Each structure stands twice: as structure tokens, then as C-alpha cells.
Structure 1
């Protein structure tokens, strides 16, 4: 589940960076770097969640762009391995 936590943190941090850049200097270099990072973290969050858990609320929260990964991590039970296809990853 470490990969899910990392992907969720990267997803949220890159969104904050993109929005801060949008409302301040709007540097194209920052957008061209942070945009793909955010998109990749978003897709990793969705893929890991849907392959490792059977909890419907966690699965649907992972589809929320931006902070869905953080919401997904909160929905998972603490201290327990997720059920589902965790052996596939």
C-alpha cells in the first residue's frame, strides 16, 4: 500500500503546484513538468486502488481528480492488507 500512499501524495502535491503556478507566474516549464506528473500519479492511484481493494467507496473515491488518492487512503482499513487482487501487482 506504500505505492498508493506515495501516488496519492504526489497527485495532491502536483495539483497544488499546478494551481500555484496558474495563479502566480504561470511558467510554461512548470506546467509542462507538473502536468504529466499529476496525470501519471492520478492513473497510478486509480489502477492500484481498483486492483488491490474490494471496498466500493475506496474505488469510487480514487476516481476523483486531485485529492481522490488521499480520500482513498483514508477509506482503507488501517493496519490491514487490502483484499482483492493484491497478488497481481
Structure 2
């Protein structure tokens, strides 16, 4: 099982935020209320998890995060739709 994940949350204003974490559920909870949530999401609560992808290690997760952040909005939406069409195993 992968220790690291790349995730995308949809913020209340409709923007998408991409990050990496070991425990995605805890991290999303932090985005939604804790002081440890990302500065970007603090003013855009609540956030909803819309995408998660496993990575082999932190370096791989960070590389994938950077590649996702380089995608256009429509490409990110296509990635999310494709993940919804295929059930997640984790």
C-alpha cells in the first residue's frame, strides 16, 4: 500500500487545490477547519475531496503534484471525471 497520495479538493468557490499527504482524510479535515490547512483553502471553505492518486513515495507524489498543477482546468476536470468512472481501490 502506498504511503503517499496526491489529492485534489474542490473549494467552496469552485477552484481546485492540489496537494500531497500521507493521510488524505486527515489533511482534508485540516483544510476544512484546522489551523494547519493550506492558506489558499482557509478562505475557500468548505472543501470537498474530488480526486486521490497513490504514489510510491513522497518524491513521486511531489512530482505528480507538480505535473497536475501544470494542467489546465479542463484537463484537471477530465482527470477527475476519469477517476470517477473507474472505482478507486484504496
Using the size of structure 2 for normalisation, the TM-score is 0.24
Of structures 1 and 2, the larger Rg is shown by 1
Structure with greater helix percent: 1
